[in-house]
Amino acid sequence: MGHTTAIQLREEKFVYTDKAKRLSYILMGLGLLLALIGFFTYHPSIEGLSEEQLHHLPAKRLLGSLLFNGYFFFLISTLAIIFIVISQLANAGWYVAVRRVFEAMSEFMPIGAITLFVVVFLSLYAFHGGIYHWAHDGVMESDPLLAKKTWYLNKPFFLIRLATFTGFWVFCASMIRKFSRQEDQLSTGLTDTTFFDKSYNLSALFMIVFGFTFSMFAWDITMSVDAHWYSTIFTIYNFATGWASAMTVAYLITWYLRKNGYMQGIVTDEHMHDLGKWVFAISMFWTYMWTAQFLLIWYANIPEEVAYYQPRMYGSYSFSFYFNLVLNFVIPFFMFMKRGAKRNPNIGAIVGACILIGHWNDVYLMVMPGAMNLATAVTDHNPVGIIEVPSQGVGLMEIGFLSLFAGLFLYIVMKGLTKANLYPTKHPYILESVQHDTGV
Amino acid sequence: MLTQRKEIHYMDNNKMLLGVYDNPDTTLDVTKSLKEKGYDVYDVYTPFAVHNLDRVLGVKRSRLSSAAFVFAMTGLTSAVSLQSFTSYFDWPMLIGGKPFLHIPTYIPITFELSILFTAFGMVGCFFIVNKMFWGRNTNIIDLRVTDDRFVIAVNVHEGKTDVNELSNIFKQGGALEVRERINEL
């Protein structure tokens, strides 16, 4: 509502300095180095496993940590574009000033998708199944629990699904970015809704397709690692993990930009407050999904379902299991509830770091326990055909790939920020967004 | 809007001048200019929340959220103590081989009780702070604010406030009607 003093919409560009670039290079180089050291120094010795079985573990761990790190950053970039899509469809106005941050985050999508495809391809074809238990030779035929899933869980169909889904999402994301950038150049003014409408129509299509395909994508990438186990809420749980991380990354990047003097007078504490509310709300949403999945399994006590939580809760992964809840629920809940906390960059940085580490740990917990398990013949004594491998901990390989992907992600996002103005200057809702006010 | 106002209350016989508007923007502009000119604006009544109005009026942030947190923690503590007392200390029951004292089992009841305590506590606080008790009827300043009109109420101090100038400001701002407050009870 127009009462404040006149708003100056400037053509503001982000400058990616060499100093900032160096950080990404260091992260990438260090990460690659650590991961390689981790890989070549990993000589597991586990009681009860033969030499030949132990021989499989380094490759499994390498593929597993590549997959979950790639998945984590792919989720962040995908959910960033999904946030734009949702806000666009809801006709939201407040988010427009920070829209370019989300657009830049989604630039990572192609790299994430390629990483996933390569890891899955290597797993399925080069490593005889790799981290996917169901893809080992003879497992689908001899295992009565899996035999009926053959029409869905088979190598070619798996890769076709992965390629078409991620391909379509990457295409939609790039179109939405393109419309938004064209708007800055070609729009005739704030009342011109040509590009807004285009973006709106594509968002509607994208949202529907994404809703269905993301379900299958999550079944494929993470749920099929534990092929015997299934949970109908697992997709939404993955979605919540990715979304909480995406909102946190956007919140931190916006603080970084504001601290460096960008977007002055355009993005205010009010926007930070609302982004902070999103971080808080989606963290609570994640907890809700986590609890919903866990409680039903806990109460029902069905062996096939409990098998997923047994090693995580009482086995060698129990530290990560409880650590997960503390970082993703307890810390944001108590530290981020107050209004002042969301407007304070220092508290924001602490809580943001906790949430990001927490969700990284969450994805680690989804993938690694199942990925490290060995396949064996189905017998009466071992009806699932799995030899459980105890937790190998978080070592140089996991940290190394985290650092590598984090550096790559930062580089791509910062590069993405330089490609257009830091906020859409001709978006129909930009003035509404600049005056955004969350009240006292 | 929950405000912490102790000095004057509704039912007193203080004289007030009311300006009735039909537009949130003009209401906000007039309020702003009244505040700038030093008038004692008592309150502005709107059918919906108007952005920035709370800042212009200088309304202090409500402490209701802190109270809510305390209520939630009370609910949480009572839920956990109730469950651990009944199912572990007083009368342990074996259900499906699950441990007697296990936090995940407590989540639903703890969650619900925290929310219940918060909800009742906040509604109770709201009634107490606004002095809304049984058998008491609220004096609405103008019934139309519950529909589509906006009312600015300004305290008139005998000998200090220039009523003519005040009503001129009201009218120049686009008031549909300027009048003194009437007790409608």
pLDDT of residue A389: 86
pLDDT of residue A435: 87
Mark whether B80 and B117 lie in a shared domain: yes
Res. B10: pLDDT tops 60: no
B5 touches chain A (CB under 8 A): no
Partners of residue A440 in chain B, C-beta under 8 Å: 54-55, 59-61
Average pLDDT over residues B73-95: 91
Among A246, A285, A262, CA closest to A108: A246
Please report whether residue B167 resides in a domain: yes
- Chain A, chain B: beta-carbon pairs less than 8 Å apart: 36
Res. A107: pLDDT tops 90: yes
pLDDT of residue A246: 96
Question: How far, in Å, CA of A6 to CA of A423, rounded?
Answer: 17
A189 touches chain B (CB under 8 A): no
Interface test with A, best of B50, B51, B110 (most A CBs within 10 A): B51
Alpha-carbon torsion, ordered A64, A68, A70, A75, to 10 deg: 160
CA angle A335, A337, A341 (to 5 degrees): 65
Interface test with A, best of B29, B31, B52 (most A CBs within 10 A): B52
Report the mean per-residue pLDDT for chain A: 90
pLDDT tens per residue across span A23-49: 999 999 999 999 999 999 988 888 888
A22 HSE (CA, 13 A, CB side): 3
pLDDT of residue A34: 94
Please report whether residue B174 resides in a domain: yes
- Between these two residues, A382 and A132, which has the higher pLDDT value? A132
Partners of residue B115 in chain A, C-beta under 8 Å: none
Indicate yes or no: CB of B28 within 8 angstroms of CB of A3.
Answer: yes
Partners of residue B61 in chain A, C-beta under 8 Å: 339, 440
Partners of residue A298 in chain B, C-beta under 8 Å: 98, 104-105
Which CATH number is B46's domain given?
Answer: 3.30.70
Res. B106: pLDDT tops 70: yes
Range in A323-337, B56-70, B134-148 the model is least confident about:
B134-148
Indicate yes or no: CB of A440 within 8 angstroms of CB of B61.
Answer: yes
Average pLDDT over residues A323-344: 92
pLDDT of residue A139: 80
Mark whether B50 and B141 lie in a shared domain: yes
Q: Which of the four pLDDT bands, split at 50, 70 and 90, describes residue B6? A: very low
Token code pair at residue A249: 């990354």
CA of B182 vs chain A CAs: smallest distance (Å): 31
CA A47 to chain centre: 35
B29 touches chain A (CB under 8 A): yes
ipTM over 0.90: no
Smallest Cβ–Cβ distance between A295 and the set B55, B98, B108 belongs to: B108
B99 touches chain A (CB under 8 A): no
Partners of residue B24 in chain A, C-beta under 8 Å: 1
- Between these two residues, A286 and A1, which has the higher pLDDT value? A286
pLDDT of residue A5: 56
pLDDT tens per residue across span B12-46: 557 888 999 999 999 999 999 999 988 889 889 99
A295 touches chain B (CB under 8 A): yes
Structural domain span for residue B95: 64-129
Mark whether B70 and B124 lie in a shared domain: yes
A1 touches chain B (CB under 8 A): yes
> Is-contact A111 A408, C-beta < 8 A?
yes
Q: Which of the four pLDDT bands, split at 50, 70 and 90, describes residue A196? A: very high
Res. B101: pLDDT tops 60: yes
B49 touches chain A (CB under 8 A): yes
Partners of residue A1 in chain B, C-beta under 8 Å: 24-25, 28, 50-52
Mark whether B142 and B117 lie in a shared domain: no
pLDDT tens per residue across span A127-163: 877 888 888 887 887 888 888 888 888 889 999 999 9
B38 touches chain A (CB under 8 A): no
B61 touches chain A (CB under 8 A): yes
Q: What is the largest CA-CA distance in chain A?
A: 78
Indicate yes or no: CB of A3 within 8 angstroms of CB of B52.
Answer: yes
Share of chain A above pLDDT 70, in %: 98
Chain B residue whose CA is closest to A294: B104
Q: Which of the four pLDDT bands, split at 50, 70 and 90, describes residue B183? A: low
Res. A2: pLDDT tops 50: no
Q: Under 8 Å CB-to-CB from A320, ≥6 apart: which residues? A: A312, A361, A364, A365, A391, A394
Please report whether residue B75 resides in a domain: yes
Res. A3: pLDDT tops 60: no
Contacts 24+ apart (CB under 8 A), B119-123: B120/B71, B121/B67, B121/B68, B121/B70, B121/B71, B121/B74, B122/B64, B122/B67, B122/B68, B122/B71
Share of chain A above pLDDT 90, in %: 63
pLDDT of residue A105: 95
pLDDT of residue A104: 95
Res. A221: pLDDT tops 80: yes
Token code pair at residue B182: 């009437």
Question: How far, in Å, CA of A424 to CA of A87, rounded?
Answer: 15
B154 touches chain A (CB under 8 A): no
A303 touches chain B (CB under 8 A): no
Q: Which of the four pLDDT bands, split at 50, 70 and 90, describes residue B182? A: low
Indicate yes or no: CB of B65 within 8 angstroms of CB of A294.
Answer: no
pLDDT of residue A66: 93
CA of A439 vs chain B CAs: smallest distance (Å): 7
Range in A114-118, A313-317, A372-376, B8-12 the model is least confident about:
B8-12
pLDDT of residue B3: 47
The ranges assigned to domains in chain A are 18-430
Mark whether B71 and B122 lie in a shared domain: yes
Q: Which of the four pLDDT bands, split at 50, 70 and 90, describes residue B103? A: confident
Please report whether residue B81 resides in a domain: yes
Smallest Cβ–Cβ distance between A295 and the set B50, B51, B104 belongs to: B104
Range in A99-108, A241-250, B141-150 the model is least confident about:
B141-150
Q: Which of the four pLDDT bands, split at 50, 70 and 90, describes residue A201? A: very high
Average pLDDT over residues A355-372: 93
Please report whether residue B3 resides in a domain: no
pLDDT tens per residue across span B124-178: 998 888 888 887 776 778 888 889 999 999 988 877 778 888 888 999 988 898 9
Res. A411: pLDDT tops 60: yes
Indicate yes or no: CB of B105 within 8 angstroms of CB of A298.
Answer: yes
> How much is the pTM?
0.88
Average pLDDT over residues A223-246: 92
Kindly state the DSSP code that residue B59 receives in the 8-state scheme: P
pLDDT of residue B69: 93
Indicate yes or no: CB of B25 within 8 angstroms of CB of A1.
Answer: yes
B24 touches chain A (CB under 8 A): yes
Please report whether residue B2 resides in a domain: no
Q: Which of the four pLDDT bands, split at 50, 70 and 90, describes residue A415? A: very high
Q: Which of the four pLDDT bands, split at 50, 70 and 90, describes residue B1? A: very low
The number of domains in chain B is: 2
Please report whether residue B4 resides in a domain: no
Please report whether residue B8 resides in a domain: no
Average pLDDT over residues A421-434: 90
